[in-house]
A and B are shown apart, each in its own frame.
Chain A
Amino acid sequence: ETGVTQTPRHLVMGMTNKKSLKCEQHLGHNAMYWYKQSAKKPLELMFVYNFKEQTENNSVPSRFSPECPNSSHLFLHLHTLQPEDSALYLCASRHSTSTDTQYFGPGTRLTVL
């Protein structure tokens, strides 16, 4: 298993709920990422954090709110989601000072009712 963990692994929520996804990396990396993976679509980059600073917001709706309190932890706060937001949400990390690539967590399978 990888050094990137995600909780919960599965989440079912209603459109009016507020929930949070958590990601933790144990690899000593300093860049962390949120991706959305929907069926038959490429992975979509949502947010990038380098050294706790957000460096990329890929036109993500405001109902998704990321938080990166330190280089090891990344959260995705969810509120008033839509059924089309149902997907696998993947966290990844890497060492931003090298050309090394990204390492992924197992993902959170989100279902919005």
Chain B
Amino acid sequence: QKEVEQDPGPLSVPEGAIVSLNCTYSNSAFQYFMWYRQYSRKGPELLMYTYSSGNKEDGRFTAQVDKSSKYISLFIRDSQPSDSATYLCAMSANEDTDKLIFGTGTRLQVFP
């Protein structure tokens, strides 16, 4: 079983839709959770960074962590064509952010 599972997609939605991206994980030691956005031919760009459980909001983006279910989500409101990218979840155990464990990434396409 992979430590982090992420549906590769592609997920195709119309502009303005609410997008939900998810990852599940198996290691209960994970405390730090990240979402990276990666455009084609670019490196991953940090989008959201959360510690432990709860929600974090930044503009149109909301990151949610449910440690009891070992499940994290990224919601994108009012999605735009510029949001079309691959979204990678990543996580690490307490104070050991040298070792990020990544999901395979979900490719999102937002069409006008």
At the interface with chain A, which of B11-19, B36-44, B62-70, B75-83? Answer: B36-44
Any B CB within 8 A of the CB of A50: yes
Q: Which of A33, A42, A100, A104 contacts B45 (CB 8 A)?
A: A104
CB contacts (< 8 Å) of A103 on chain B: these are: 46
In the bound complex, do residue B95 and residue A99 qualify as a contact, i.e. CB atoms below 8 Å apart? yes
Could you say which interface size class chain B belongs to?
Answer: 20 to 34
In the bound complex, do residue B42 and residue A101 qualify as a contact, i.e. CB atoms below 8 Å apart? no
Any A CB within 8 A of the CB of B34: yes
In the bound complex, do residue B43 and residue A104 qualify as a contact, i.e. CB atoms below 8 Å apart? yes
The answer to whether A107 and B42 touch (CB under 8 A), given A40-B104, A101-B32, is yes
CB contacts (< 8 Å) of A96 on chain B: these are: 98
In the bound complex, do residue A42 and residue B41 qualify as a contact, i.e. CB atoms below 8 Å apart? no
CB contacts (< 8 Å) of B42 on chain A: these are: 106-107
The answer to whether A42 and B103 touch (CB under 8 A), given A31-B98, A50-B98, is yes
Residues 6-64 of A at the B interface (beta carbon under 8 Å): 6, 31, 33, 40-43, 45, 48, 50, 55-56
CB contacts (< 8 Å) of A99 on chain B: these are: 32, 51, 95, 97
- B interface with A by C-beta (< 8 Å): 2, 4, 8, 32, 34, 36, 41-46, 49, 51, 88, 90, 92, 95, 97-105
- Residue pairs across A and B with Cβ atoms less than 8 A apart, 14 shown, are A4-B43, A33-B98, A40-B104, A42-B2, A42-B4, A42-B103, A43-B44, A43-B88, A90-B44, A96-B98, A99-B95, A99-B97, A101-B100, A102-B46
